[in-house]
Structure 1
Amino acid sequence: MSVNLMVVTDLDGTLLDHYSYDFKPAMSVVSSLKRSGIPLVFNSSKTHAEMRYLQDQMGLLDPMICENGSAIYLPKDRFRTAQSAWEDHGDFWRISLAKPREHWLRILAEYPDQGSILSFSTMGIQGVMNTTGLDWAGSERASQREYTEPLMPPANNEIKQDLITYLNGKGALVQQGGRFITVGDSVDKGRAMETLACFWRQEYGLPVRTLALGDGLNDVAMLEKANRSVWIRSPVNPIPDLVKQKDWHITQECGPKAWAAATQMWLEQHSHLVNSNKVKEHYG
């Protein structure tokens, strides 16, 4: 049976090196995906601005899932006709799945213990630079959030749990990433990936077979819903017990080198399906 192949990936610590954000060790495989017509979907807590910058660096124009499943961006050259709920956003159609960032900033501002909150909005661009290692331009892109607010998790676990309990009581979903906890709506990477696959199937008339790769707890929902799942080993965090219990491939190496090896292996296993990914031409 013909299918469309799709690679869906987290970024920090997965396709990007945890420390340097370098992706060069993965570029040969990224280029193979592009030549084969297989979309490389970024599915991350990162912003639209950050993802577009990375796409430009890699020579890509593929769908994106931003801010932990809060919005899907579909390139217009692959989806010529918008559905009624899709918003015009430059080269993309945007499908918003979550409440705006301002909603969660108001809730954070009402928390009694303001000293325990260190978020992107309170630390400013310089603070984002200090905590992420990004340069000024990268920190500006990271701060252009539309749906979520990242926080440095309090070092004291009791204080952290008090904050999470408060936020959950206000309807927020608090997701743990590699560096930050992220406050946002009750959405996740997995549901957004399924929605994207549905749009792709409607557009191209073929079922979608997904490879998903991630390294953080906020990737679990995505990995659980993929056809093939890869856990990228972290250089700083132990493998969660939850992950050890899954039938997922766990890499021995970290970051983009591990990502490249796992994705290349999956490509070789699906080489007989690659031709079906040469998506149909659109005529306007």
Structure 2
Amino acid sequence: MTIEPSRKRRLLIYTDLDGTLLDHDSYDTSATASLRQQLKQLGVPVVWNTSKTAAELESLRLSLEHTDPYIVENGAALYFPDESTQQPKMTFGPGHDHIMTCLEGVRRQFRFKGFHDMSVAEVAAATGLDEGDAALAKQRQFSEPLTWQDSPGKMSDFLAAMADCGLHVLRGGRFVHILGEFNKATPMAWLNDYYATQWDATVDTVALGDSQNDIAMLQAADRAYLIRSPAHVTPQINGQANIRIAKGYGPEGWAEAMAAEVDALMTPQTPPDDAIKTSLPG
């Protein structure tokens, strides 16, 4: 039986995957299983908002029984669950061919290596994926992850060169991502309006992420949770009262945050659990 949540608000969740819903090293997500099931029973969509490709998500969505919309390649495209991964509902930037043309134009000026340049085995080694998943990760449609092999001082010149091409550089947990003038927050406005119309209600948004490339998504949400990572320092986001830091790492932090949200949803007069820290670093 489906549990009927309070009608005073309709909750919509946006979540990063690697290092947030999925463990940074093992990609395990078992710690989130019961909360994901509760959210499904409550009719709360959990929108994946990831740097992964649509091809990478096909088997993962089946294994985790994910049936909500999903956003790929750092905000590049929005997919609905009943549509082909080759036909996104909406796209928000240029295609991969344009990005590669721009990168080829500056290859003699800077040292870097992108997924396009790597073998499947090299992508697997860089990401921790098995070779089957690494092959899917190479199927970029709207962005190009790369490892920066030049000096930090040359990054500003690289940023300017990409800007001249109408592109920008986004730093994630493992890679530098080259993409169009969009970010993980870009599709959120469209999808928020979609659900507000479908539900005839005000949409209350929550976002969860762990990396620099999640900041725009976190800032765009009504409430957001920074998830701690064992692999990198928690990003600095100053002056944002809507952003909390979960105590747990990866999926454990995700489950902690979502437990507070589910409790608040079931008893709307109660704010999310005080156990979630509300202070930010820096």
TM over 0.5: same fold? yes
Which protein, 1 or 2, shows the higher relative CO under an 8 Å CA cutoff with sep ≥ 6?
1
1:130 and 2:125 aligned: yes
Is 1:7 equivalent to 2:13 in the alignment?
A: yes
Task: Give the distance between the partners of 1:90 and 1:236, measured in 2 at CA.
Answer: 30
Paired residues of 1:75 and 1:92 also in contact (CA < 8 A): no
Separation in 1, partners of 2:66, 2:233? 32
Relative distance call for 1:90 and 1:233 in structure 2 (3 A) is: closer
Distance 1:206 1:13 in 2: 32
Q: Does 1:169 align with 2:164?
A: yes
Matched, 1:246 2:240: yes
Give the C-alpha shift of residue 197 in structure 1: 1.0
Identify the match of residue 149 of structure 2 among 154, 170, 174.
Answer: 154
2:114 equivalent among 113, 119, 140: 119
Q: Which residue of 2 aligns with 1:271?
A: 266
Contact kept, 8 Å, 2:29 with 2:251, in 1: the verdict is: yes
Rounded to whole Å, the distance in 1 between the matches of 2:224 and 2:164 is: 32
Instruction: Give the TM-score normalised by structure 2.
Output: 0.87
Look up the equivalent residue of 2:216 and give its one-letter code.
Answer: A
Matches of 1:43 and 1:92 in 2, distance apart? 17
Shift of 1:92: 7.3
| Aligned residue type for 1:43 | N
Structure 1 runs (4+) deviating above 6 angstroms are: none
Question: In the alignment, is the contact (CA less than 8 A) between 1:42 and 1:51 conserved in 2?
Answer: no
Q: CA deviation at 1:91?
A: 10
**3-state SS of 1:56 partner:** helix
* Aligned AA (2:250): G
Aligned to 1:18: 24
Could you tell me which residue of structure 2 aligns to residue 85 of structure 1? none
Aligned partners of 1:68 and 1:102: how far apart in 2? 17
Following superposition, the deviation at residue 75 of structure 1 comes to 2.9
1:260 counterpart residue number:
255
Q: Among the aligned pairs, what percent are the same residue? A: 33
Quote the offset at 1:61 in angstroms: 1.1
TM-score for the superposition, normalised by structure 1: 0.86
| Count of paired positions | 261
User: Map of 1:54-93 to 2, 5 A cutoff?
Assistant: 54-76=60-82, 89=84
Q: Is the 8 A contact 1:7 1:210 kept in 2?
A: yes
Question: Which runs of 5 or more residues in structure 1 are unaligned?
Answer: 77-87, 274-284
Report the secondary structure of 2:129's partner residue.
Answer: coil
Which stretch of the first structure deviates more once superposed, 152-161 or 204-213?
Answer: 152-161
Distance 1:91 1:202, change over 3 A: farther
CA drift at 1:115: 6.3
1:43 aligns to 2:49 (yes or no): yes
Work out the CA distance in 2 between the residues paired with 1:109 and 1:167: 11
Q: Which residue of 2 aligns with 1:282?
A: none
Residues 217-269 of structure 1: per-residue CA shift (max 9 Å, x gap):
1111111111110001121222233x254221112221001100111111111
CA–CA distance in structure 1, aligned partners of residues 249 and 151 of structure 2: 28
Q: Distance in 1 between matches of 2:27 and 2:134?
A: 13
Map residues 175-190 of structure 1 onto 2, 5 A cutoff: 175-190=170-185
Output the CA distance in 2 between the equivalents of 1:93 and 1:2: 32
Paired residue for 1:235?
A: 230
Match of 2:210 in 1: 215
SS at 2:11 equivalent: strand
**Residue 101 of structure 2 corresponds to residue 106 of structure 1:** yes
Q: Distance in 2 between matches of 1:173 and 1:126?
A: 27
For residues 191 and 115 of structure 1, the distance between their equivalents in structure 2, rounded to whole angstroms, comes to 29
- In the alignment, the residues of structure 1 paired with residue 230 and residue 251 of structure 2 have an alpha-carbon distance, to the nearest angstrom, of 12
Query: 1:52: how far off?
Result: 2.6
- How has the CA–CA distance of structure 1 residues 92 and 110 changed in structure 2, closer, same or farther, with 3 Å as cutoff? closer
Flag the structure with higher helix content.
Answer: 1
What RMSD, in angstroms, separates the aligned Cα atoms of the two structures? 1.9
Q: Which amino acid aligns with 2:228?
A: R
Contact 2:79-2:85 at 8 Å conserved across structures: no
Per the TM alignment, residue 159 of structure 1 is displaced from its structure 2 partner at its CA by 3.1
